[in-house]
Amino acid sequence: MELPIFPPGVVRINGRLGIEKKEGMVYYFNYQNPIHVHKEDDRNSFRYITANLVVSGICKIHELSRALGVKRRNLERYSKHLREEGMQYFIASKHTGGKAHKITAEMVVGMQALLNDGRTNVETGKAYEISEAAVRYYLKKGDLKKSPVLLKQDFPDPLIASHLSEIVPILPQPKT
């Protein structure tokens, strides 16, 4: 018999720590005593608990990484956040899973108005404090549309073309 004794079904992380998934919950055991529990899909609790286990010295990063299949760098980052910012970082943080969290539907409407006014991607991005790449992404995705570029050939009447050139910059005709 190997000591310490863990309850049946517990996966050992090291000699003191074990984890068990049961009925949608994840239980953490220090020897046979439960010390933490969280829902299986609660990522912020998972990040906080794993950081807490490392910072408190119950286990090492490489042990957790190997047992849970989580990258070491992620565990290092969670531990650093706990040391520097405390538990509040995990409670208040909104992990978006790679989705753009800055751009709302209202912003898209406003950005479209700027693009319709002839603003560039850079100017539109600066107006909303986002990158030009984010504007490009929404253009490519189809959520935003660039206003069409007006050419002199689109206006056969030179009077209209000259009048519009004062309002809207008109590109010269391409050379053939």
pLDDT of 171 higher than 50: no
Q: What backbone torsions phi and psi does residue 140 show, to the nearest 5 degrees? A: -65, -40
- Helix segments in 69-154, DSSP class H: 72-85, 88-92, 105-116, 121-127, 132-141
Mean pLDDT of 140-166: 63
Report which listed range, 17-21, 146-150, 157-161, is most confident.
Answer: 17-21
Low-confidence winner among 20-29, 110-119, 166-175 (lowest mean pLDDT): 166-175
Instruction: Write the Ramachandran bin of 26: left for phi over 0, alpha for psi from -120 to 50, otherwise beta.
Output: beta
pLDDT in tens, 8-65: 888 889 988 999 999 999 999 988 888 999 999 999 999 999 999 999 999 999 999 9
Per-residue confidence (pLDDT) for residue 174, from 0 to 100? 44
Give yes or no for residue 170 having a pLDDT over 50.
Answer: no
> DSSP label at 69?
T
Enter the pTM of the model.
0.55
**CA–CA distances in Å: residue 39 to residues 5, 28, 148:** 25, 12, 51
* pLDDT above 70 for 69: yes
Percent of the chain with pLDDT over 90: 38
Could you tell me which residue, 83 or 100, shows the higher pLDDT?
A: 83
Residues 6+ apart with CB under 8 A from 13: 19, 59, 63, 64, 67
User: If you average pLDDT over every residue of the chain, what do you get?
Assistant: 81
Report the pLDDT averaged over residues 122-149. 86
The answer, yes or no, to whether residue 159 has pLDDT greater than 60, is no
pLDDT, position 47? 94
